[in-house]
Structure 1
Amino acid sequence: MNASFDPQTVAAVVALGLLCRWLLALWYNTVNLPPGPTGLPFLGNVHQIPLQYPHKTLYEWGQRYGDIIHARLFQKHVLVLDSTKAAEDLLDKRAAKYSDRPHFTLLEDLLQWKPLMVFMSQGETFRLHRKWYQSFLENRQSLRTYESMQQREVDSLLLALLESPENVAYHLKRFTGSLMLEIAYGYTETSEKDAYIRLASETITQSLEAGTLVASLVDFFPILLYLPHWFPGGGFKSNAMKLHGRVWQIMESPFRYVQQAIACSTARPSFTSFMIDQTAKEGQLAEEDELNIKGAAILMYSGGTDTTNTALLTLLLAIALHPEVLRKAQAEIDEKIGPSRLPTLEDRASLPYVECIVKEAYRWNPVLPAGIPHQLREDDEYRGYHIPRGSMVISNIWAMTRDSATYPDSDSFLPERHLPSRGGPICRDPKSIVFGFGRRICPGRFLADSSVWLIAANLLATFDIMNARHPNGDVITPENAFLSGAVSHPKPFICTIRPRNKAYTEMITQRSTSSLAI
């Protein structure tokens, strides 16, 4: 007996089946989720997350719902981790699942910040870049080779502070820029180097600030890429195109500089020159290899400048606000080092209070307060909760450094909290938090940390840092405040910096002269 089916009936059955499957998937992805604020249809919780200081709102949610929080940004599931325990359990111990990245349409497709490992999904290219960074930034032998560069740039910084202490913010920025230019590209020409540092700094800052509301929506609705630039809200495309040209310039110009130096046999050792030598075949680079080296080098530079500079400015602000911390540090340095020389990295273990100051600066103002989002590769369960595949995972580092159980009186700057207590546990080292987690941990953390410590020790040893004064003698107290953004920059402030005595002035001048002669 032959059966015949009405096409409309078949279509209806198929449609019903697809609808059931969709409803089942929807139910599966919404049942037993971690607790969180109730959202609106379509918008989710977008309207509840402010554009300014969102990490503070996520911290408040953590106080209400617990240390793992579920939210939605439109149709995107978001998992917020407000505790170190949750971050370590998921991002460290389950790194294979939690080490992907969401796609950053604005930064990658419009501004063309690629290929940068910080934005890559897991895969062959990610593993290649990670291997390169491990060789140059996590290898003990490589780190030792950078110490002479660090010391030379510190000597140059101290001399600049003698000559124009009012420009301290610029001098700190120039220190980090000069150091990373030499490591990444072997760049040494002073005038060209300064011009590049200014251009790169402006481009990086503007890229981070480019996320207007409409531009940010592009990450969730890539169709907005096709919005005409003249259409209301489409102006972000024109701005992005202008900025894209500068991104291309700061990626291209130092790479060509290295290539030319190699051709003239004048190239200094650097990450880029080494990678060109290792990758080129018969003197030629494949287009893909060239692109990968450019991306890896610019990330090495950009990732090591703005964040390190922010940590240094945070430390300077804390010292200006807490003169008693400066006095304790100087007493320790005078006792352990003496007045006849300046601190080196070899002195680090013998200056525990200076170490505590650096740790507390990391904790007091984590440079990346909300980290950089991870993305979950497959469905997971944690503490009995369902976490859907594709969820964006935010490690709220600011909340972790405000954990009152670990850091009592967490809003205060208290270096002493990091000293071992008699019979009690040592306060958790903030370095295990602020540099990220899992396979996405910052590969330049050792170089950045040693640079921050070296500057801190030398600055504290040689200069007095105090509040500035108005012409009428009134004290100008810096504001204990930080700008909102992906990077938590201190609000611009002024302070007075002057050498402790004539002997240190002469020592700085002599050392700087010797460094320049090398």
Structure 2
Amino acid sequence: MPDCTTIGYLLASLALAYALASCHPRSSRYPPGPRGLPLLGNLLDMPRKHSWTKHQELSKTYRSDIIHYQVLGLHILALNSGRAVRDLLDKRSTIYSDRQETVMLHELTGWHRNWALMRYGDAWKERRRLFHQHFRPRVVSQYNLKQVKAARSLLHSLLESPRVFSEHIRFMASSLILDIVYALDVRPDDLEARRVERALETLAKISASVFMVDLIPVLKYLPSWFPGAGSKRQASIWKNIVDEMFETAYQVCKNSAQHEYVRPCFTTALLSEVSDPANMKEMDEIFMSLAGTTYIGGSDTINATLNTWMLAMTLFPHTQVAVQDELDTVLGRKRLPSIEDRDLLPRVTAMLHEVLRWHPVGPMGVPHRLTVDDEYRGYHIPAGTIVMINAWAILRDESVYPDPDVFRPERYLDSDGRLRTDMPYPVEGFGAGRRLCPGRHFAHDMLWLAIAHVLTVFRIERAVDEDGHEIVPEAKFEPWLISPPEPFQCQIKLRFPEAEGLIHLAAMDE
């Protein structure tokens, strides 16, 4: 979806600040940032694509890790250092954990159900509490068997048709989450496997546009047939798509659970907690929100990260060698890895850490919103300020990560090949403060297993053209909230003669 941390998301938010617009000069008490135009402020300064690079450039220009913008009265802050994120979003999380709401996104198209976009309050806290019960570190291992099955299914798909590796990764991610959340088994051509993509397309279009109903909220009361209410008619179409995504799989799972026709899953676990049938309608809405948000966040994050890893392997193929030597030593080329091997495979973990750093899955994340006036380093930050985390810039801090553009997993290892304890885990791509992604432990396990499985049996190489010359892809990424690489080519080859047998044997075991 387009970079909703920049112009799309922010312009939609301007409706709430429009009445505050003024021509007053920039206050010297605000953090550094570009001088804006009268009334418009920094509207024309806000980057439309790949905003993370622009914010980093301005950070260097103004020699400040926090950059301030003001657009039609709305204050926007970009945090470009880990220190600023820790000071504000972590240490002051009680006032920096809100979200900005817009009419089109939250009222007309059904995206209020995505609890990652909810305002900070009791409804959000209840959803996080319920989610944490089933995905906290102590219990997330319950999903490891399904994750191993997904990783081994991916191997078989890559063996059969390696050229469409990206499609195989996408299906692996979505089918895994559908199984865990709703106990649904799907095929690549099933509508349910594509439903989340259709919903995300609506979010993309909303985030990239400015709607009159956001600028003039009273327009939401106009009938859809009224002249000038075109956006409301479009919203109705989008709402049907979003509602389908949240409701259809949930209702199928719920109906099956009532007749005991469904395997245990996240949704059935939630349903089992309802003690009073009188509360079922209210709980249905909460459970749909939890399940649907998990489906969206889990599948999109895993898909984007693994495609980014494939790009890194294509651009830096030599980094596979040391990891594969380690895998061969531990596994003996006689079996596939399991999660129990993790402590024996620090190079796999280092490679995962590096892909999360090299291009974080959420380069700018979902913006936070400040609820009260605040002071920081002598600067004034007004209530209502939108606060963005530039994870991409933070994870390219040269004082922490020398040669940040280079994919180098060994930066996380000491001279003995063990994981360094002084290197920070690249968590910034998963958010910060109370909005830190609670599903990151599940994602970490799945990503680790996928990388370990693929490198055990395959070697990833650059594609070649008709003349036999290597095709070196560019490290280009989509300008979206979850930012996968642009399409690229590579070759996926078996590493040793017995590798194919391992893949087929694993498929038979499943």
The TM-score with structure 1 as length reference comes to 0.88
Instruction: Count matched residues.
Output: 488
Contact 2:395 2:426 in 1 (8 A): no
Distance across 2 between alignment mates of 1:231 and 1:58: 41
Listed one character per residue, the Cα deviations across residues 258-316 of structure 1 (whole Å, up to 9, x for unaligned) are 1221222112111211222212524x553222111111110011010111110000001
User: Partner residue of 2:475?
Assistant: 480
Contact 1:342 1:461 in 2 (8 A): yes
Query: Could you tell me how far 1:138 is from its partner in structure 2?
Result: 1.1
User: Partner residue of 1:510?
Assistant: 505
Q: Following superposition of structure 1 onto structure 2, how do residues 159-308 of structure 1 map, counting pairs within 5 Å?
A: 159-188=156-185, 190-191=186-187, 194-215=190-211, 222=217, 225=220, 236-279=231-274, 281-282=276-277, 285-308=279-302
Change (3 A) 1:71 1:227: farther
What amino acid is aligned across from residue 382 of structure 2 in structure 1?
P
Contact 1:209 1:485 in 2 (8 A): no
User: Partner residue of 1:7?
Assistant: none
Distance across 1 between alignment mates of 2:314 and 2:228: 42
Contact 2:24 2:38 in 1 (8 A): no
What amino acid is aligned across from residue 472 of structure 1 in structure 2?
D
What amino acid is aligned across from residue 442 of structure 2 in structure 1?
L
Query: Could you tell me how far 1:203 is from its partner in structure 2?
Result: 2.2
Q: Following superposition of structure 1 onto structure 2, how do residues 138-153 of structure 1 map, counting pairs within 5 Å?
A: 138-141=136-139, 143-153=140-150
What amino acid is aligned across from residue 57 of structure 1 in structure 2?
K
Tell me which moved more, 249-258 or 201-210: 201-210
Query: Could you tell me how far 1:166 is from its partner in structure 2?
Result: 1.5
User: Partner residue of 2:39?
Assistant: 42
Distance across 2 between alignment mates of 1:319 and 1:439: 33
Contact 2:412 2:420 in 1 (8 A): no
Query: Could you tell me how far 1:37 is from its partner in structure 2?
Result: 1.0
Equivalent position to 1:382, from 359, 366, 376 = 376
Change (3 A) 1:412 1:231: farther
Tell me if 1:115 matches 2:117: no
Tell me if 1:319 matches 2:313: yes
Change (3 A) 1:327 1:227: farther
Change (3 A) 1:408 1:236: farther
What amino acid is aligned across from residue 442 of structure 1 in structure 2?
C
User: Partner residue of 2:364?
Assistant: 370
Bigger Cα Rg = 1
RMSD across aligned C-alpha pairs, in angstroms?
2.8
Q: Alignment partner of 2:498: what SS?
A: helix
Distance across 2 between alignment mates of 1:476 and 1:145: 41
* 5+ long unaligned stretches in structure 2: 1-18
Q: Alignment partner of 2:253: what SS?
A: helix
Contact 1:401 1:430 in 2 (8 A): no
Tell me if 1:490 matches 2:485: yes
User: Partner residue of 2:406?
Assistant: 412
Tell me if 1:89 matches 2:87: yes
Listed one character per residue, the Cα deviations across residues 392-435 of structure 1 (whole Å, up to 9, x for unaligned) are 1111111101211111211121112222369x986633433221
Equivalent position to 1:348, from 334, 339, 342 = 342
Listed one character per residue, the Cα deviations across residues 35-83 of structure 1 (whole Å, up to 9, x for unaligned) are 1111122211110112111121111111122011221122111121110
What amino acid is aligned across from residue 401 of structure 2 in structure 1?
Y
Tell me if 1:60 matches 2:70: no
User: Partner residue of 1:500?
Assistant: 495
Distance across 1 between alignment mates of 2:333 and 2:412: 27
Tell me if 1:135 matches 2:136: no
* 5+ long unaligned stretches in structure 1: 1-21
Tell me which moved more, 294-303 or 427-436: 427-436
Change (3 A) 1:442 1:110: same
Query: Could you tell me how far 1:107 is from its partner in structure 2?
Result: 2.4
User: Partner residue of 1:451?
Assistant: 446
Listed one character per residue, the Cα deviations across residues 149-178 of structure 1 (whole Å, up to 9, x for unaligned) are 111111111111111112211111111111
Q: Alignment partner of 1:97: what SS?
A: coil
Change (3 A) 1:209 1:314: farther
Query: Could you tell me how far 1:222 is from its partner in structure 2?
Result: 3.7
Tell me if 1:156 matches 2:172: no
User: Partner residue of 2:3?
Assistant: none
User: Partner residue of 1:80?
Assistant: 78
Distance across 2 between alignment mates of 1:305 and 1:410: 27
Listed one character per residue, the Cα deviations across residues 347-399 of structure 1 (whole Å, up to 9, x for unaligned) are 11222222121111111111111111111111111111111111111111111
Change (3 A) 1:426 1:272: closer
Listed one character per residue, the Cα deviations across residues 191-220 of structure 1 (whole Å, up to 9, x for unaligned) are 4983211121232144224333424x7656
The TM-score with structure 2 as length reference comes to 0.89
Contact 1:379 1:387 in 2 (8 A): yes
Distance across 2 between alignment mates of 1:279 and 1:193: 34
